[in-house]
Amino acid sequence: MENFASLMHGFGVALSTYHVALMMVGVLLGILVGVLPGLGAPNGVSLLLPLTFTMDPVAAIILLTSMYWGALFGGSTTSILFNIPGEPSSVATTFDGYPMARQGQATQALTLAFLSAGFGALVGVILITILSSWVAKFALRFSSPEYFAVYFLAFASFIGLGAASPFKTIVSMGLGFAFAAVGMDTVSGGLRLTYGFNELLSGISFLIAVIGLFGIGELIMTMEEGLRFDGIKARVKARDVFKTIGMLPRYWLTLLRSSAIGCWMGITPGGPTAASFMSYGIAKRLSRRKEAFGNGAPEGVVAPETADHAAGSSAILPMLALGVPGSATAAVMMGGLMIWGLNPGPMLFIERPDFVWGLIASMYLGNIVAVLIVLATIPLFASILRIPFAIIGPVIVIVCFIGAYTVAGRPFDLWLALSFGVAGYLFKKLDYPIAPLVLAMVLGDKAEDAFRQSMIMSRGSLSIFWSNGLVATLMVLGLALALGPLLSGTVGKLVRPKPTSAAV
Amino acid sequence: MISRFSAEIATATLTAGLGLAAVVGALEFGIGWGDAGPEPGAFPFYIGLLVVAASLVNLVQATVGREGLRSTFLDHEQAKRVASFFIPMVVFVIVARLLGLYVASALYLTFVMWFQGGYRILVSAASGVAAAVAFYFVLEYAFQVPILKGPLEAALGLY
């Protein structure tokens, strides 16, 4: 009940005209970046983040999370109407959403997608409400070795649970840590890895990396594929919307199952993309009408959408309570919290309860606002994709580079963003996962600090990571996750590398 | 035409190089035990080693599985499309460094619309300038975030 009182207090914080207006702005901007190719949720949040440095943290996080919800909705819209996933996490929605739209059921597909997404998000937020302060209280017992073990577990689960080759995941992650190490060393205060370049003195911002990897890289991909939008004209009719709402309870089992999958994948850093694919796969396997999947089965829209949003919102839980984000976008937001001077983790619940509960309350409101806005504005946003790419493409490029410049006001960052763009393009084409790199850049310093402090505590002995039950359990879990696929997969993969094409 | 195999090899070599750079850079700052615990270079050193090792595995995997990687990474048509997008973007960054982001944005949008979109030069130029002006008001007034400016803004006294 303590949580309930805190939540009510949070609603008091979130429910001001200013905050609700910010939610609407955030959702609209989010749908926009979700709809546009090359601008996704992580990238959109990165672009907006520098503009919020001067805002109050509560208002800023409401704006950014609302943008996140909006982007998730926007991504599903293009999946259904154009067969182009606006976000990697809405790829699975194209399998049945686009066939539904082609059969003249665009309104039903969109409404189903939005409502099940809203349902998934709500389940995620309820989970956060119930669990977060408990997790935070539990995490208060953590000291440096435990923190390092949690970070280790997070990265190990990328290796163990990710769809990509474990070695490619390690490369991507390691590069993230290496980039994070450039510049000032947070323990000794000295500079390192600058190779004599003044430009590297202040380090490499993770925001630049996200803008390059997700934004510019994605645009190069889009150009290479030769963009053609075969959109389906959609007019959202109120009558169809209500009819579809009536249909929704029929899919209660899919909804609940997909929410559970989504929440699990969101809390462990599997992320929304993996969650939506997994949920789609399971829904198909358990369905009595398997042949309908791929040809416009409503469950094929409900399952990935619910899981996608459940994962997206529950990814906030480990970010808030442990300081370990569950998705790339959550990682960017956590980086933002640190820039605003807030330290994500259990102490945040004690030091800034107004912030934490205001955020959680705003997630309830933000998702409801998002469902309403997205239903009302979809025809408008769908028409944006009819603008020729020769206009919209360069505008997105300009937005990305301006965004990169606003991070720190350094011209060098423009080159950096360009380089990350090329890297993002290569990584995407060759199935290197990008999310671990971003997560490593955000967590790099914290993970390293935790490691070094542990070493100081133990005078250089690694045995501290087995010194008590808690840390040992975490480490063993992490090792099992990290080494499992390496051991079982190495033999098979050395013989025959499989060209996976799953996007993360 | 670039095969998937050569792209895999090139990327793995590149990541190995970056890992090696981290290793070499870290050696300068000490990788052992100092007065305050592990020295600053230790963490990047081992991370660098990890990247090098994983890149080598990727290299080996690509070489061993060469048969499976015969597929095309980038064909002629795709390469042309990528280049036609990438080269103007590089020029945009160069121009932005020289003339500021607003002027570069106007020129870039004008060029792409005119050259690749097939719009008339006047329409393109008008759109370019309009976009730059819109960005100016949104950034400098609405968000009060100054961005990179060049000689034109200086001449107009826009600071």
pLDDT 10s digits, B37-94? 788 888 999 999 999 999 999 999 999 988 888 888 888 888 998 999 999 999 999 9
Same domain, B8 and B53: yes
DSSP reduced 3-state for A202? coil
H or E segment and range at residue B130: helix B121-136
Contact B69 A499 (CB under 8 A): yes
Chain B CB contacts of A181 under 8 Å are 22, 26, 43-44, 47
CB contact under 8 A, A181 and B43: yes
Cβ–Cβ below 8 Å for B118 and A51? no
Is B73 within 8 Å of A178 when comparing Cβ atoms? no
Q: Under a CB-based contact definition with an 8 Å cutoff, are residues A264 and A326 in contact?
A: no
Residues B11, B64: one domain? Answer: yes
Neighbouring CB atoms inside 10 A of A241's CB total 17
For the segment B114-157, what is each residue's pLDDT rounded down to a tens digit?
998 889 999 999 999 999 999 999 888 887 888 899 888 888 88
Contact: A411, B51; criterion CB under 8 Å:
no
One DSSP character per residue, A291-359 reads: GGTTS--HHHHHHHHHHHHHHHHHTHHHHHHHS--SSHHHHHHHHHHHHTT---SHHHHHH-HHHHHHH
On chain A, the residues whose CB falls within 8 A of the CB of B105 are: 398, 402
Q: End of a domain among B36, B56, B74? A: B74
Q: What is the reported pLDDT for A230?
A: 60
Measured between alpha carbons, how far is A206 from A445 in angstroms, rounded to an integer?
Answer: 12
Q: Give the predicted TM-score (pTM) of the model.
A: 0.87
**Residue (of A249, A226, A245, A227) closest to A237 by Cα position:** A245
pLDDT of A502 reads: 41
- Residues B18 and B10: their CA atoms lie apart, in Å, by 12
Backbone φ, ψ for residue B34 (5° rounding): -110, -165
d(CA A226, CA A82): 14
Question: What is the per-residue pLDDT for A503?
Answer: 39
Q: Are residues B64 and B104 in the same domain?
A: no
Nearest to B95 by CA among A425, A196, A418: A418
Mutation target to probe the A interface, by most A beta carbons within 10 A, among B15, B76, B147 is: B15
Note the pLDDT of residue A303: 93
Dist. CA A411–CA A413, nearest whole Å: 5
A494/B21 Cβ within 8 A: no
* pLDDT reported for residue A126: 93
- Helices and strands per DSSP (H, E), number in chain B: 6, 4
Verify whether the Cβ–Cβ distance B19 to A178 is below 8 Å. yes
Compute the C-alpha angle A366/A20/A316, nearest 5°.
35
Residues B42 and B101 in one domain: no
Say what the pLDDT of residue A460 is. Answer: 81
Partners of B33 in beta bridges: B38
Q: Counting beta carbons within 10 angstroms of the beta carbon of residue B157, is it exposed (0 to 12), middle (13 to 18) or buried (19 or more)?
A: exposed
The answer to whether A390 and B119 have CB atoms below 8 angstroms apart is yes
What range defines the domain where residue B86 resides?
81-156
Q: CA–CA distance from A178 to each of A38, B7, B26 (Å)?
A: 26, 23, 10
Distance CA(B139)–CA(A369), nearest Å, equals 27
Look at residues B42, B74, B106 and tell me which one is the last residue of a structural domain.
Answer: B74
State whether A406 and B78 contact (CB < 8 Å).
no
Whether residue A78 contacts residue A84, with contact meaning beta carbons closer than 8 Å, is answered with yes
Joined tokens for residue A361: 């309350």
Mutate to test the interface with B, among A168, A398, A422 (most CBs of B within 10 A): A398
User: Do B12 and B67 belong together in one domain?
Assistant: yes
Helix, strand, coil proportions of chain A in percent (round to 5)?
80, 0, 20
Specify whether B68 is located in the same domain as B32. yes
Are B56 and B89 contained in the same domain? no
| Same-domain check for residues B85 and B109 | yes
Judge: B47–A193 Cβ closer than 8 Å, yes or no: no
3-state helix, strand, coil in chain B (%, to 5): 75, 5, 20
Tell me whether residues B33 and A460 touch, CB distance under 8 A: yes
CB atoms B108 and A177 under 8 Å: no
Are B47 and B108 in the same domain? no
Q: How many structural domains does chain B have?
A: 2
Rounded to whole angstroms, the Cα distance separating B11 from A423 reads 9
User: What is the DSSP-derived secondary structure letter of residue B142?
Assistant: I
Angle between helix A91-100 and helix A57-82 axes, rounded to 10 deg: 50
Per-residue pLDDT of chain A (504 residues; tens, 9 = 90+): 577 888 888 888 888 899 999 999 999 999 998 888 778 888 899 999 988 888 888 999 999 999 999 988 888 888 888 887 767 788 888 899 889 888 888 888 888 999 999 999 999 999 999 988 888 888 888 889 999 998 998 888 888 877 788 899 999 999 999 999 998 887 777 888 888 888 888 889 999 999 999 889 988 988 888 766 566 666 667 788 888 888 888 889 999 999 999 998 888 777 788 888 889 988 888 888 888 888 888 889 999 999 999 998 898 888 888 888 878 888 899 998 888 888 888 889 888 888 899 899 999 999 999 999 988 887 787 777 778 888 888 999 999 999 999 988 899 999 999 999 999 999 989 999 888 899 899 888 889 989 998 988 888 888 889 888 889 998 998 898 888 776 765 555 554 444 444 433
> Which residue, B92, B145, B100, is CA-closest to A48?
B145
Phi, psi of A500 (to 5 degrees): -70, 150
Q: What is the pLDDT of residue A497?
A: 47
DSSP symbol at A191: E
Report whether A68 contacts A333 (CB < 8 A). yes
Query: Which of B4, B36, B54 is the closest to A188 by Cβ?
Result: B36
- Chain A nearest CA to B40, separation (Å): 7
Residues of B in contact with A401 (CB under 8 A): 92-93, 96, 101
Mutate which of B60, B148, B149 to disrupt the A interface (most A C-beta within 10 Å)?
B148
What residues of A are in contact with residue B44 (Cβ under 8 Å)?
177-178, 181, 192-193
Query: Are A303 and A286 a contacting pair, CB within 8 Å?
Result: no
| Chain A residues within an 8 Å CB radius of B88 | 394
Closest CA to A325 of A471, A211, A206, A462: A206
Q: Which of B40, B108, B116 lies closest to A190 in CB terms?
A: B40
The residue of chain A with its CA nearest to that of B24 is: A193
Q: Which of A54, A192, A429 comes nearest B40 by C-beta?
A: A192
Q: Which of A51, A167, A219 sits opposite B54 (nearest CB)?
A: A167
Pair (B87, B151) in one structural domain = yes
Co-location of B32 and B16 in the same domain: yes
Tell me which residue in B29, B65, B105 faces A497 most closely, judged by beta carbons: B65
* B39 and B23, same domain (yes or no): yes
